[in-house]
Amino acid sequence: MVMLLTRFRLLMVRLVWTMDVRTTLEALEGMFRTMKGVPFKVTADNAKCMALEASDYEPVLNPAMERFAAHYGVVVECLPPRDPQKKGKVERPMSYCRRLYEAHGEAWQGIDESQAYMERKLEVANQRRHGTTQRQPIKMFEEEAKALKALPATAYEVEQFHEGIVRQDGHVRFGNKYYSVDEWYRGKKVVVLGGAQQVSIYHGGKLLEVHERLTDPMRSKSTKEAHLKPWERGMMDDSVYRHRAQGLGPSVDRMIQEVLSQGRGFIDTRKVWGILSLDKRYTAARIDEACRKALDLGQSGYRAVKRLLEWEDACALIPTAPVAPGGAAGPHKHARPLSVYRERLNLFPMEAHA
């Protein structure tokens, strides 16, 4: 990545593996700190890290670059696409920097060693008399560096960049979490920027939503009040979830409604279909009874129902003590039949968490 201060003809180079958003912004920030100031304008090509859509007149800048430019107070200009004649100051130094590195040889000792080598070569190159200005670039920079704007007091927090498609339930996935947008954007491509505190969602350079970033491992989605229509569809009596649950029993239907209401616009198919698929192993009556017990205990979700069913299976494996002919349970007069203890265990099932 090459930066040329066009007024001074001062060259700076950063060797990078990729030109993704994070790498580009970190390289630009490092160059600003090397100059100890911020230029008025940054002119660049139409790389994806700079512009989402190239245009001769109105390119759509990458939201991450816009926020970076706002933090440092710099204007970002993207040059017209497919017109190299207008990019002389940007394109010309590239071949010169390649020639500077050719003397390094074929030995590879890591990118840090190569970066140090390029800095030594550029230190010499910036002291040579430039053919256009007839002056040393480093001297011109030292004389006029005061024209640069001061660096901000705090460094820029480089945000995570992600491009994704809005799901049919109105949520976009980012960082293994789900964030809601208006249903009109279903199926559309959006850009997500995630910082330590907030998540911002953009479409076509327009800010759609800002969510608080989810950090709780027990929460997987953030849904706003205005985006609840998918949940309303899932709660309808003729929805596929309710129709399947009603075939297993009324308590199963109540459990599915409870799970859907917790989603607040997001349908957690893992919990819903996990409960509805228990009929592959258990009878409908047992599933309905397990759902009833789970709801009575204030528990909801697939894990709560499954653990109750597994607990019942474990209790069924406990051997029953023989009953004496006179009705006494076991050889001792104070012994009780195991059915009494099994009944007590059913009244106090093991703790289950959704």
What is the C-alpha to C-alpha distance for residues 217 and 228, in angstroms, rounded to an integer? 22
**Which of 235, 304, 299 shows the shortest CA–CA distance to 266?**
235
Residues forming beta bridges with residue 11, ordered by sequence position: 4
What is the C-alpha to C-alpha distance for residues 14 and 115, in angstroms, rounded to an integer? 7
What is the C-alpha to C-alpha distance for residues 255 and 259, in angstroms, rounded to an integer? 6
What confidence score (pLDDT) does residue 331 get?
Answer: 52
What is the C-alpha to C-alpha distance for residues 312 and 122, in angstroms, rounded to an integer? 76
What is the C-alpha to C-alpha distance for residues 89 and 42, in angstroms, rounded to an integer? 12
The verdict on domain 2-147 having CATH code 3.20.20.370 is: no
Distances 9 to 1, 33, 137 between C-alpha atoms, Å: 16, 18, 6
Pairing of strands 75-78, 41-44: parallel
Whether 176 contacts 160, CB under 8 Å? no
DSSP 132-144: TT-S-HHHHHHHH
What confidence score (pLDDT) does residue 320 get?
Answer: 58
Give the other-Cβ count within 10 Å of 54's Cβ: 17
DSSP 242-262: HHHHHTT-HHHHHHHHHHHHH
What confidence score (pLDDT) does residue 181 get?
Answer: 93
* Interval 85-122: pLDDT, tens: 777 677 778 888 888 888 888 888 999 999 999 999 99
* Interval 326-344: pLDDT, tens: 554 445 555 667 676 666 6
What confidence score (pLDDT) does residue 198 get?
Answer: 93
What confidence score (pLDDT) does residue 129 get?
Answer: 86
Give the other-Cβ count within 10 Å of 336's Cβ: 11
What confidence score (pLDDT) does residue 209 get?
Answer: 94
Quick check: pTM over 0.75? no
What is the C-alpha to C-alpha distance for residues 114 and 13, in angstroms, rounded to an integer? 11
Question: pLDDT tens track of the chain, all 354 residues?
Answer: 888 888 788 889 999 998 889 999 999 998 899 888 899 988 888 888 888 888 888 888 889 999 999 999 999 988 888 877 777 677 778 888 888 888 888 888 999 999 999 999 999 988 888 877 788 888 888 888 888 889 998 888 888 999 999 998 889 999 999 999 998 899 999 999 998 899 999 998 899 999 999 998 888 889 887 776 655 555 555 677 888 888 999 999 888 888 887 766 677 788 888 999 998 889 999 999 999 988 888 888 888 899 899 888 888 877 655 555 555 444 555 566 767 666 665 655 555 444
What is the C-alpha to C-alpha distance for residues 307 and 144, in angstroms, rounded to an integer? 73
What is the C-alpha to C-alpha distance for residues 163 and 263, in angstroms, rounded to an integer? 24
What confidence score (pLDDT) does residue 211 get?
Answer: 95
List the chain domain ranges. 2-147, 160-224, 230-347
Q: Which CATH architecture has domain 160-224?
A: Beta Barrel (2.40)
Distances 164 to 70, 193, 285 between C-alpha atoms, Å: 24, 11, 42
